[in-house]
A and B are shown apart, each in its own frame.
Chain A
Amino acid sequence: MNDALEALQIAALLMVSIGAWAVVAARDPTRQAVVASLYGLTLGILFFSFQAPDVALSNIVISAVAMPTIILLAIAKTRR
């Protein structure tokens, strides 16, 4: 049980580091917003695996849905 939890934590940490790199590596802001959304999801898994489900819930909604939406809308507005 403990080993399984540890494996999940290590996997979540790896996903977050890959996700963070992917956000920086995506140069186009539109793509970056979508990648940042996926990164927010991995952060949610990280928080959940470290026993913080309250934080995970708010983080998933904010950084996977609300923040990318506002970034995308701002990009669409400035490109016109």
Chain B
Amino acid sequence: MSEQGPQPRRRPGEISFATRRRIFLIGGAGLAALLVWGLTGLPDFGTVSPLYGQLIDKLGVPQRSATDAVTAVNFDYRGFDTLGEEFILFAAVLGLALLLRETRDETEGAIDDDAPERRPPPTSAALRLLTVVLVPFTVLLSIYITAHGHLTPGGGFQGGVIGATALLMVYIGGEYMALRRVRPLTLVEVAKASGAGAFVLIGIGGIIFAAAFLDNFLPVRTPGSLVSAGTIPLLSFAVGFEVAGGFVLLISEFLDQLLIVRQGRTRRR
């Protein structure tokens, strides 16, 4: 670490760099030894099939007609875990929105622009064309991944995030201020909240119409068809709405944070 330049003067009681490195090396060596020890005891990849996996493989199709075992676990057998995960995202986005809203009010109009006559460079025609072509296909892919969650890899979470990237593309290919005018933020918030709420309501439906919370209460139909697997596709769409709304809100809050103050400045002069 000789290229680090002169070391800052140490305060009394502070550990020197050399000592710190020695402590790290001892700790790192210990961690590496433990990891190697643990890894040598593992069975070879693909040789062991755990009991839970065997059960899901055997039960997933006859019980729920869900050909994608992962989605069957996520939205049915371990649906309660997904409920928790969904609300982690919900709480995180909510916290971020609250935090950034506060800051936005505080800083708006407070920053001086060094070069007010300088405009951001216009988006190139190629980028605009590319996003115009890609956005509808991205939205379509998002719906496809969400709707086919119980048949092929994918589901509400993956579909939802893919849908949110469509908004990002609109931002990259166009003007953010134009996007702000067309972006239905209230609708996004409603989609997010109703997605989270629908998951709980479907869960309560399980208590009323079946044995337990999130228990399947719809007919399962033919395995492999689009309308099958009972409540799994519905839960997938609920998560899809919640995740897409959450991520759109997240990106919008960050973009607002970056661009609104700039906009406020140009408006004032």
A: residues with CB less than 8 A from B are 50, 53-54, 56-58, 61-62, 65-66, 69-70, 73-74, 76-77, 80
Contact = CB atoms under 8 A, between A and B. Distances in A.
Nearest to A58: B158
Contacts of A74: 254
Interface string B190-234: 000000000000000000000000000000000000000000000
B251 A69 contact: yes
B241 interface: no
Contact of A54 (B70, B161, B165, B247): B70
B258 A66 contact: no
Given A53-B153, A54-B153, A66-B250, 15 more contacts: A54-B158, A57-B154, A57-B158, A61-B158, A62-B161, A65-B168, A66-B161, A66-B247, A70-B250, A73-B251, A73-B255, A73-B257, A73-B258, A76-B258, A80-B111
A65 B254 CA distance: 14
* Chain A interface helix/strand/loop/mixed: helix
Size category, B interface:
20 to 34
Interface string B42-84: 0001000000000000000000000010110000000000000
A9 B251 CA distance: 34
Contacts of A61: 158, 161-162, 165
Interface in B158-183: 158, 161-162, 164-165, 168
A66 B229 CA distance: 30
A69 B158 contact: no
20 contacts: A50-B45, A54-B68, A54-B71, A54-B153, A54-B155, A54-B158, A57-B145, A57-B154, A58-B158, A65-B168, A66-B161, A66-B165, A66-B247, A66-B251, A69-B254, A70-B251, A73-B251, A73-B254, A73-B255, A73-B258
Nearest to B114: A80
A58 B161 CA distance: 8
Contacts of B155: 54
B257 A77 contact: yes
B157 interface: yes
Interface string B99-112: 00000000000010
Interface in B126-160: 145, 153-155, 157-158
Contacts of A65: 161, 165, 168
Contacts of A66: 161, 164-165, 247, 250-251
Contacts of B153: 53-54, 56-57
Nearest to B172: A69
Contacts of B71: 54
B86 to A, nearest CB: 14
Contact of A69 (B68, B145, B157, B168): B168
Contacts of B162: 61
